[in-house]
Structure 1
Amino acid sequence: MSISGTPFSISGFTSALWLGFIVALVIIALIYVLVQRRRRKHMLRFSNMELLEQVAPVRPKPWRHVPVALTLVGLLFLTIAAAGPTAAKKVPRNRATVILVIDVSLSMEATDVPPSRIQVARKAAKQFADGLTPGINLGLVTFAGTASVQVSPTTNREAVKAAIDNMKLAERTATGEGIFTALQSVDTLASVLGGAETPPPARIVLMSDGKQTVPDDQDVENPRHGFVAARLAKQKGIPISTISFGTTWGTVDIPDPDGKGSQRVRVPVDDDALHEIANLSGGEFFTASSLEELSSVYAKLDEQIGYEMTMGDASRPWLLLGLLVTAAGVTTALVYRQRLP
């Protein structure tokens, strides 16, 4: 239940001393009960039952207690409001950096995700850019055999989307280079901003569809390997959220060197490597094999990256409830009893 979008979950109070007023409300309630019992005893002192029926011909109804009950409940809500309740609230981030790292190797031509992996990747990435809160700096890095910064971190979403539309495919897959380039882009922005005790929080979102080929995927100790880059990201406090995009049955046609034909090559996704990169960096791993699934992953990342939970004032709903319930108690007393409780 909520009022003005603020949940009633309370995790603390800024002025808890005011909660002591609840004791006073309990005492008032007890006094009211004792007064009602005493009044009943006075009525029963009449020995002549016929006279009693003439004095009190109608048995009092339970609803006569409603005005007092409503007033006490309203005062309880107002007491909680006065104590300064706090609650976790979701607020947009205004100081953060996100680097979108996209695989543009030739395997992205595969049509197992119709119309093709690269076309679906473009559409979903632009949705991701649009979904981020305005204050976040978003950059774009693409990688195939090498990696390059297409757009340095910026709040200009149109520039990022234009670069996404212009992504070109190339041979080979250097996943580690993509991560290293993204980390350099984050460092560059932090040095440009300066002035703060700590750099803005950063996150890398890496989308790839295949196995690393530069350096060889098995050469895990190579200083340019994706796993080494993921460990460096962990040291820098920059988690990498990885998205394994595609299927295990995807294929592409690779032209022969002589140009007289082509060879069909399987390009299955490499879930294991991307999962490990996410684990090593402290990020999350996702899979997607359709536009709907990829869009859903990006939407979840938009929510995670674009907002943060902070403790804020939650007294307003209690104040409004207190005023409404107290007013209801007074109104009920005036309408049905022609006097205040």
Structure 2
Amino acid sequence: MKARLSKWRLFSVVAMLALVLSGCGEPFLSTLQPAGEVAQTQYDLMILATLIMVLVIIVVMVVYMVAIVRFRRKKGDTKIPKQVEGSHTLEIVWTVIPIILLLILAVPTVTATFQLADTKAMDKKDADGNREALVVNVRANLYWWEFEYPDEKIITSQDLVVPTDQKVYFNVTASDVKHSFWIPAAGGKIDTNVDGVNKFFLEFDGKKAEEAGGLFYGKCAELCGPSHALMDFKVKALPKEEFTAWVEDMKNAGEPKPTSDLAQQGQEIFNKKCLSCHAVSPQDGRPESARLAPNLSNFGERSRIAGVLDHNKEELKNWISDPEQYKPGNKMTGTYGNLQEDEIDALAEYLMGLKVQD
């Protein structure tokens, strides 16, 4: 008996802990702290569905307990209860009520689905023939992300930069296997396919972005290989003026200039070993098939290395020395030959100096 009570106590503690932890989350990563129109709509639908489910559970449990208590056999009672076969009233009730509940859930869900799938605005143009909406082409790769701004003619990788309080439209594809593009705080995931383009939009609320420090996290939400869990990216949500300034800086970024002799050596090594895959200019005019690795034009401004390591020179040297250790299955391993320690040091010095904005 004591052992059984102990098990129930343990179960109760675990259940309460799970309930408490389910409410935890950071504003830059939690679907339960929506940071935009799309996320808020989806959150409201989740709440509605949850309330309906809770209501059904409560009603069923109440009926169940009443039936157990009221109609259980009493001591000494040997009578056979009245046998009832069918009840038109009950059958109508338990048919109509689920239909009503389904309609309550289905109508807003279907309405929201069509609203969130409406991307016609991304093709609208002004009197001068320029597209009015901001469009970003997202390309998923093993295990990194590329973000192309076709109208601005700039490309970046790993860091998606967007304006706040404005709809941002996306064309999402994949270059190798199926992935899934997901920014939990901004909206639900959408698949990135090799043989087609999916379109959708997101919006980042300015106040929510400020609370999150202007930074949200994105992930791949489709199992794609051994480093699937490490396929992260960052979203920098900027006020409109700052975003416009960033775009101009990216457009006007020239060829990177090493700031030291060591960085100069690193650039020479980079040009020999890395330039065939990587680019160091936001204006990368090569076709997608030639863009085999992340664009490094603003590498020195990033907050993480390869999405998983702290952004400092030592971690960068560790990554260059053995990328397979940190991201198994990546396509960088073994493509640039063996580098000596001094070459790695020079290369890291050069890469850490790649910046578009000071």
Common topology (TM > 0.5): no
Structure with higher RCO (Cα < 8 A, 6+ apart) = 1
Pair member with larger Rg:
1
Structure 1 length normalisation: TM-score? 0.23
Structure 2 length normalisation: TM-score? 0.23
More helix by share: 1
